[in-house]
Chain A
Amino acid sequence: MAVSAQPRSAQRTSLWGWLLAVPSGWMAAFFVSSIVIVVLLSFGRTTNDGFPAFATSTANYRALWNEVYLELFVRSFLYALAAVVISVLIAYPVAYTIARHGGRYKNALVAAIVVPFFASYLIRMYAWKALLSDDGAVNSGLRSSGLSDGVTFLNTPWAVIGGLVYGYVVFMILPIYASLERLDLSLIEAGKDLYHGPVRTFFSVTVPATRPALFGGVLLVFLPAFGDFVTAQLLGGASTYMIGNLVQQQFMEGQNWPLGSAMTVALMVALAVLMVVYLRATSTQARES
């Protein structure tokens, strides 16, 4: 029988355990606990001096249950949904073109898409605001070419949706590109023979083959879009408010932190529910196919 001072498997676990402990500790301390505090404060109230305090009141949630706020939720959902749909419509052609016709420049083209997206979201949104404003370049171009007297771009739902797409479409393009790239594109060519039409080929061959990527992309675009506030604030106005704007208001100008916490929790719950529903729906689809 072998005799040892300390079984080596125990040594191994303690090393890896320590390795995990420190970063896990950090995440627990800063991330998990912060979320917990949000949830706790959502049941809180504001003291007479105007300071947020913990309590056990559901007043904030009851306050949320009214037309105005619910409308905001619905609007955010619709904007995010629109952003997703448009992103899909853009992502497939772009990904397909690069995968199929990119040749040697494939990686350069992908980089050309990726680099702007990691380079200052804020600046690019600001640029759109400047370009699309009533005296911005686009409008002056329209006026000088006589095409129109000037179109109000900003402060409209489409400006916000466009901004959302602009900000997040890359998260739809990348997975779909990766998936298309790995796909044997002759499959699509063969499909074209079989299905006698580009549209039918698309739905019967391309989409099923890239389904996981598509589902991933949908999540990656929808989630941040739903909670966005920068785009709505810069490119939109009061009529295009999203949940994000409202939350930001509570914490910055309105100074109603408990209410803001409740909104944040509502946002998180909404997202979680939507995600669960989505995952359920897509997995049954996958099973059925």
Chain B
Amino acid sequence: MPRKLERKPRIAVVVTAVFFVWLYLPIVAVVLFSFNDKKSLSSFSGFSLMWYDDLVHNGALLDSLMASVKIATIATLVSLVLGTMLALGLDRVRSRKTQVTLGAVTLLPLVTPEIVTGVAALLLFTGIGLKLSMTTVILAEITFSIAYVTVIVRGRLLGVAHEVEEAARDLGCTHFQALRLVLLPTLAPALVGAGLLVFALVFDDFVLAFFTTGVDPQPLPVRVYSSIRFGVSPAINAIGTLMLLASALLIVTALLLPRLFGRGSSSLDLITTGEPL
């Protein structure tokens, strides 16, 4: 009997191993073929940096890269501010009704398929006569990102008792000083983590950008998409590798950051301890 019971875990382990291979297969392929010395995508013949060289000289691609960085930076900063305000407000508002309704509305962008938010954004901007451009992309991305910030900051807020703010006021702070000198510094790890996460998400975001972008410059994912649609080029591998690397770095930093400050739970713990569902 005991031996039979041991078999089940092994199936699970096998599935897990296969899963990880499957998960990383395309990533490995992209990275590998970005160093390929031939155009082929089916066999690796030799090591070369030619595709990266191509990249550096590809003006349009570099423009898109800059655009994506700009968009992600602005969107991150604004959504951090708005998301934190929302998290704090929701945490402290008196009326239960307001809290629940507003909380639900904030979460809506997270559960709405991006195509819906993309279409909606497109219609809104066209409806009010705003020409599609980097600005419209930024506006749309901010709207979408606020939800992430709010969820993360609220999660951290739950661990910080209201009493910390009261303690600050007890010791001589006005409401505003308590916020500035105690609450925000305590929230700092969550804010940084949320910021990095949002940056990575916005930088990589395709659907929303696709619907709200102007003609030039296009955010990087949109330009990559166009290239993919009209033929598969190995140069994509190079830019893809870089994008993957950048995102990976951002996310890993975001996950590890609070732990580096020795403050206990990190954003990873936040994610793994369940979402507010």
Contact = CB atoms under 8 A, between A and B. Distances in A.
Given A33-B124, A115-B251, A251 B119 contact: yes
B94 A13 contact: yes
Contact of A31 (B109, B115, B127, B175): B109
A27 B143 contact: yes
Interface stretch (B54-62, B155-163, B184-192, B269-277): B269-277
B116 A264 contact: yes
A23 B83 contact: yes
A37 B120 contact: yes
The 7 closest A-B CB pairs, nearest first, are A227-B113, A127-B26, A20-B89, A119-B247, A198-B8, A34-B120, A93-B12
Contacts of B102: 20, 24
Interface string B101-131: 0100110110111111101111110010000
A101 B41 contact: no
Nearest to A126: B228
Contact of B115 (A116, A135, A264): A264
B273 A260 contact: no
Contacts of B201: 118
Contacts of B112: 223, 268
Given A121-B206, A122-B225, A247-B119, A93 B11 contact: yes
Interface in B200-249: 200-201, 204, 206-207, 211, 221, 224-225, 228, 232, 236, 240, 243-244, 247-248
B225 to A, nearest CB: 6
A207 interface: no
Contacts of A78: none
Interface of A: 11-13, 15-17, 19-20, 22-24, 26-27, 30-35, 37-38, 41, 90, 92-94, 96-98, 100-101, 107, 110-116, 118-124, 126-131, 133, 135-137, 139-140, 166, 174-175, 177-179, 181-182, 192, 198, 201, 212-213, 216, 219-220, 223-224, 226-230, 234, 244, 247-248, 251, 257, 260-261, 264, 267-268, 271
Given A26-B143, A123-B224, A268 B248 contact: no
Is the contact region of chain B dominated by helix, strand, or loop, or is it mixed?
helix
Interface in B136-173: 139-140, 142-143, 146
A96 B9 CA distance: 8
Interface string B67-94: 0000000000000001101101110111
B248 A123 contact: no
Interface of B: 5, 7-9, 11-13, 15-16, 19-20, 22-27, 29-30, 33, 41-43, 82-83, 85-86, 88-90, 92-94, 98, 102, 105-106, 108-109, 111-117, 119-124, 127, 139-140, 142-143, 146, 175, 197, 200-201, 204, 206-207, 211, 221, 224-225, 228, 232, 236, 240, 243-244, 247-248, 251-252, 255, 268, 271-275, 277
A227 B115 contact: yes
A248 B16 contact: no
B182 to A, nearest CB: 15
Contacts of A175: 274-275, 277
A224 B121 CA distance: 17
Nearest to B225: A122
Contact of B85 (A20, A113, A118, A212): A20
B113 A139 contact: no
Contacts of A216: 275, 277
B92 A219 contact: no
A22 B24 CA distance: 42
B38 to A, nearest CB: 13
B111 A219 contact: yes
Nearest to A102: B16
A261 B206 CA distance: 20
Contacts of B243: 119-120, 123
A93 B15 contact: yes
B225 A251 contact: no
